[in-house]
Amino acid sequence: MLEAIIQAFLVIFSPTNFGLLVLAVLGGLFLGAIPGLGGITGMTILLPFVFVLAPDSAIILLIGLLAVVTTSDTIPAVLFGVPGTSGAQATIMDGYPMSKNGEAGRALGAAYTSSMIGGLIGALALLFALPVLRPLVLSMGAPELFMVALFGLSMVGLLSGKTPLVGLMLGLFGVMISMIGQDPQTGAYKWTFGQAYLLDGLPLIPVILGVFAVPELIDVAVFRKAIAARGSVHDIGRDMIRGIKDALRHWFLVIRCSLIGVGTGIVPGLGSDVADWLAYGHVAQTIRDKEKLGKGDVRGVIGPESSSNAKVGGALIPTIAFGVPGSASMVVLLGALTMAGVVPGPEMVTRHLTLTVTMIWTLVIANIMGCLMLLLLGGYVARLCYVPTQILVPLILVVVFISALQGTVHFADLLVLFVFGIVGWSLRKANWPRAPLVLGVVLGPIVGRYLFISMQAYGLDWLTHPSVLVLGAALALIITYSVWYAFRNKNLVEMG
């Protein structure tokens, strides 16, 4: 383990990887500061680099970006009352009033510092989880891994908030989509329609970009957002030191809220917004003098910000150990790992242990780097909010197109992008979750492979393995709950 820690440290500080990390952090800070974009859009655009770069470099790029998005999303939340991502919703409660009270710099200083500490605690949680997970994951055979993968698929229901049944349906449909192409085990052609393009299956990049990035771009293009009018960013540099001191003074609150974030991240389906609000609720419950809360109390900023950054480390735990992603961004990361030929599960704590530890180092360094950049360049970064998003639309669309074309470097990649763009947009219109569909496409081949191996090795006997029975019972419980929830909830009428 110690060897892996040192090796990963050297990997991350190689000139190329460190340069990539700096770029990723800058990209993440930019995306976080502009509402409507965010980490998933950034990660999907970066997906093609997974093919070009070595797996460790690609992971550094993706996690580096994801780690700091929830740091800079505070800027529009505090200054304009508009969260950069859903993970900064609760920050508005006290951050925006502080800004109105002339304490924007203090709020941002406290937010950046607590975000950084939260991110570090998330990384530490991931590090300490590894020795615990290692024997557990290594004890699993193909049948158990098949059941865990199925369990992961069933968790898509939980990723779906109020519509677990819809999440399950879409997850299973995603699995069906993943079957397109030549079957790796039997060689049979499945829905290839005589097209050579489809023999290797649908390329993941245009699928993910279509489902996640295209609907966001349409949203940005349609609403013609202007986040702030010019001149509305006041001098925010002065009070930042005071905010840093605030965060350090309330160190115990930072730690508690960070642990809430880690816990929320481990449980699939609880997004950044949940972590954010849970932490805010914790602040409200535990502080004695509540009069100022909601009117500009710095503790109302510190709590949610520590939590939302710590969540990333927590969410990585089930993703890399079991292939069960805790959030939509982890679904994209899982897709990236798969494309890089890295299968989540036992290999992540054996063959790819260095890669796993590289993720931890990336979290640590990206969080520190992101915080320092924002503290030093705070005022300038805040001016990102002036950028008219109408200018960004064609630029991002060009990048999305070029990224999609890296799927197979075939013109048909753009058609896949367009079709899945319509699919993603339709799901959004119907208020259906998009992550389960993509998770199905990503996990489909893994589930299929484990089923094939289980059947070849054990016939039907594997169904009677005790661990399989336990996981099967859990699976049945989740499905039953999803159906029961749908029928019980009278208000859950047809969405959209």
CA distance 230 to 223: 19
- Shortest distance, CB of residue 83 to another protein, whole angstroms? 5
Give Cα separations from 291 to 70, 81, 111, 295, 296 (angstroms). 28, 21, 21, 8, 10
CA nearest to 42, candidates 333, 262, 317, 275: 333
- Shortest distance, CB of residue 280 to another protein, whole angstroms? 12
Q: Please say whether the beta carbons of 344 and 337 come within 8 A.
A: yes
- Shortest distance, CB of residue 486 to another protein, whole angstroms? 5
Q: Tell me if residue 329 falls in helix, strand or coil.
A: helix
Which backbone phi and psi does 341 adopt, to 5 degrees? 80, 15
Which backbone phi and psi does 330 adopt, to 5 degrees? -70, -30
Residue placing its CB nearer to another protein in the complex, 19 or 394 = 394
- Shortest distance, CB of residue 105 to another protein, whole angstroms? 23
- Shortest distance, CB of residue 305 to another protein, whole angstroms? 15
What kind and span of H or E run contains 258? helix 251-266
Q: Tell me if residue 342 falls in helix, strand or coil.
A: coil
Quickly tell me which residue has 């099967």 as its tokens.
472
Residue placing its CB nearer to another protein in the complex, 427 or 468 = 427
Give Cα separations from 335 to 50, 258, 313 (angstroms). 10, 27, 18
CA distance 401 to 377: 31
CA nearest to 125, candidates 375, 306, 327, 385: 306
Token pair for 21: 């990390």
CA nearest to 69, candidates 40, 44, 47: 40
- Shortest distance, CB of residue 483 to another protein, whole angstroms? 6
- Shortest distance, CB of residue 316 to another protein, whole angstroms? 24
Residue placing its CB nearer to another protein in the complex, 18 or 452 = 452
- Shortest distance, CB of residue 132 to another protein, whole angstroms? 31
- Shortest distance, CB of residue 393 to another protein, whole angstroms? 7
As beta bridge partners, residue 181 has 190
- Shortest distance, CB of residue 287 to another protein, whole angstroms? 22
Q: Please say whether the beta carbons of 67 and 362 come within 8 A.
A: yes
Give the 3-state DSSP-derived string for 34-82, with helices as H, strands as E and coil as C. Answer: CCCCCHHHHHHHHCCHHHHCCHHHHHHHHHHHHHHHHHHCHHHHHHHCC
Residue placing its CB nearer to another protein in the complex, 285 or 491 = 491
Q: Please say whether the beta carbons of 262 and 313 come within 8 A.
A: yes
CA distance 425 to 112: 34
Would you give the DSSP letter of residue 461?
Answer: G
- Shortest distance, CB of residue 352 to another protein, whole angstroms? 26
Residue placing its CB nearer to another protein in the complex, 130 or 437 = 437
- Residue 330 CA to its chain's centroid (Å): 4
- Shortest distance, CB of residue 475 to another protein, whole angstroms? 10
Residue placing its CB nearer to another protein in the complex, 135 or 231 = 231
Burial degree of 252 (CB within 10 A; 0-12, 13-18, 19+): exposed
Residue placing its CB nearer to another protein in the complex, 28 or 35 = 35
Residue placing its CB nearer to another protein in the complex, 123 or 334 = 334
Residue placing its CB nearer to another protein in the complex, 291 or 494 = 494
Residue placing its CB nearer to another protein in the complex, 2 or 222 = 222
What kind and span of H or E run contains 375? helix 353-382
Residue placing its CB nearer to another protein in the complex, 227 or 254 = 227
Residue placing its CB nearer to another protein in the complex, 190 or 249 = 190
